[in-house]
Amino acid sequence: MAIESVNDLWDTLMGAQPDPPGLLVLVTAVIGLVVASFRPLWRVARNAVTIAHEGGHALAALLTGRKLRGIRLEFDTSGLTLSAGRPTGPGMMFTLLGGYIAPSLVGLGGAWLLGGNRITLLLWLVVVLLLLMLINIRNVFGVVSLVVTGAIVLGVSWYATPQVQAAFAYAGVWFLLFGGVRPVFELQKLRSRGRMPESDADQLAGVTRIPALFWVGVFLVVDLAALVVGGFMLAGQWLPTISAT
């Protein structure tokens, strides 16, 4: 990427890239689904979902006036976001709610940007969000995880060809849309075995006096809706190619 002035940078970020081949959209959808479904791949890639999950908690805490104390990302792909404020009320409720829906909503936002062919803008926004999150990381693995992830995204956006950027962006967005749904089923499976008594859903139940299963259902409905809407946005890049042949 050759950038000679601020105007060049602005034009690069805000400009639309060419329409991706329809086959690329389809292939990256399959890749995203396979990575989110196949356990060995999921165990590695799930870290991206955890980053979005904890980022969702952090953003919701800040937007509702809570004080963010720090974020931890663990090697086992678990995470923890600490904030200070009232232990009850809307602020705490939205902070707890933000985690399990964040990966899918990030994927939905990415699908919207890709629908407008803003591939470079999407990649750079991801880098900026990772840098903002890095400021609040409180453990070594979390720092390494965000730095490596950010370096990969930045490297692709700066050095890769437009075709590689498109493939990377579409695969990542598809993965977030599919991968945002799976943790909800994992959550309920662990809850049914009594292994997550302090889950987000159970904490929401304590804050709102509404059963935890209701909140699991809210997570699932939001994530499935994001998958459907985001999927249609991305498929819109593929379907015209099919109808034209």
For the segment 123-133, what is each residue's pLDDT rounded down to a tens digit?
Answer: 999 999 999 99
Given CA atoms 108, 221, 171, 96 in this order, what sign does their dihedral have?
A: positive
Residue in the structure block whose two tokens are 């034209």: 244
CA within 13 Å, CB half, 123: 26
Tokens representing 89? 């009320």
DSSP 156-212: HHHHS-HHHHHHHHHHHHHHHHHHTTHHHHHHHHHHHTT--TT-HHHHHHHHHSS-H
pLDDT tens-digit profile of 25-67?
Answer: 999 999 999 999 999 999 999 999 999 999 999 999 999 999 9
DSSP letter assigned to residue 117: T
- Which pLDDT does position 17 carry in this prediction? 72
Tokens representing 126? 């991801």
Given CA atoms 220, 225, 230, 236 in this order, what sign does their dihedral have?
A: positive
Residues of the chain with pLDDT under 70: 1-16, 237-245
- Which pLDDT does position 165 carry in this prediction? 94
- Which pLDDT does position 243 carry in this prediction? 46
Contact 137, 70 (CB under 8 A): yes
Tokens representing 18? 């060419």
Q: What is the pTM of this model?
A: 0.91
